Structure 1
Amino acid sequence: MVVDLSAPAGRTARLAAIGTLAGLFSGLFGVGGGVVMVPLLMVWLGYGAREATGTSLAAIIVIAAVAVATHAGYGNVDVEKGLLVGVPAIGGVLAGTWLQQRVPQRAIALGFAAVLVGVAVRLVVG
């Protein structure tokens, strides 16, 4: 059976695939929302950068809650350090969201791609 990816069921299948990949990457590497969902929402479903970002952030709520609970079961969660990183990040989120609304979507996509390439090079080089 072939799924028509332009039909509503096909879009649902793509969203499910994106969610599965994001969950897999979250569990393996602690990433998933931005790194996996945003580019796939843009490429596979034609979302704009802003819509992809917002959708990804909504999904992260669920992903992060399950991931934290699972990692806590393995003893991998340092709540104090998590709060020390998370609380100041709120200011960054507010500033980043404000800035994103004022920058052209093409610039956002190119900037995000540059960050991903930079991180990939750093990981490979060591």
Structure 2
Amino acid sequence: MRDRYKLIKVVTIGIIAGLCNGLFGSGGGIIVVPAMIYLLGIEEHDAHATAILVILPLSLVSVFIYFRSNHFDWSMVWKVGLGSIIGAGFGAWLLPRIPVNILSKIFAGFMILAGLRMIF
């Protein structure tokens, strides 16, 4: 019964993350990371790294649907994409080097800033 309850939690987290990713173009990490930490008890570094792998198929599905609807600004895709590749490499290198207490504060700060930016 416990495994079934955990499976329901995991699938629900995935549905919510996928919905946010499809609607907002992001949100997978904002949903998945805290859910894995607080609901599933996954260590924070592992949750951040796992979220990236979870977000990949979400993004691919969204890209396919958006591509068919022609909702891309191709000049931005290439420019932002190049910077994102550099940032992703640096972030993946940096993640295991940041203590958990600092990592959680950085993540919380980004979530607060993103929320405030959306409100104002």
Structure 2: how far apart are the matches of 1:82 and 1:9?
Answer: 41
State the 1:76 CA deviation.
Answer: 0.7
- Equivalent residues in 2 for 1:49-68, closer than 5 Å: 49-68=44-63
Number of equivalenced pairs: 120
Q: Percent same amino acid at aligned positions?
A: 28
- Aligned counterpart, 1:38: 33
Q: TM-score, normalised by structure 1?
A: 0.86
Residue 8 (structure 1) aligned with residue 7 (structure 2):
no
- Aligned counterpart, 1:107: 102
RMSD: 1.5
TM-superposition CA deviations, 1:55-89 (whole Å, max 9, x none): 11111111111000111122212344223212221
Kindly indicate which of the two structures has a greater share of residues assigned to helix: 2
State the 1:105 CA deviation.
Answer: 1.1
Long gaps (5+) in structure 2:
none
State the 1:39 CA deviation.
Answer: 1.1
Structure 1: how far apart are the matches of 2:75 and 2:54?
Answer: 24
Structure 1: how far apart are the matches of 2:53 and 2:6?
Answer: 18
Higher relative contact order (CA 8 A, sep 6+): 2
- Aligned counterpart, 2:73: 78
Contact map agreement 1:42 1:48 (CA 8 A) in 2: yes
Residue 122 (structure 1) aligned with residue 85 (structure 2):
no
Structure 2: how far apart are the matches of 1:19 and 1:9?
Answer: 15
Long gaps (5+) in structure 1:
none
Residue 96 (structure 1) aligned with residue 113 (structure 2):
no
State the 1:8 CA deviation.
Answer: 1.9
State the 1:32 CA deviation.
Answer: 2.3
Q: TM-score, normalised by structure 2?
A: 0.89
Contact map agreement 1:33 1:60 (CA 8 A) in 2: yes
Contact map agreement 1:21 1:32 (CA 8 A) in 2: no
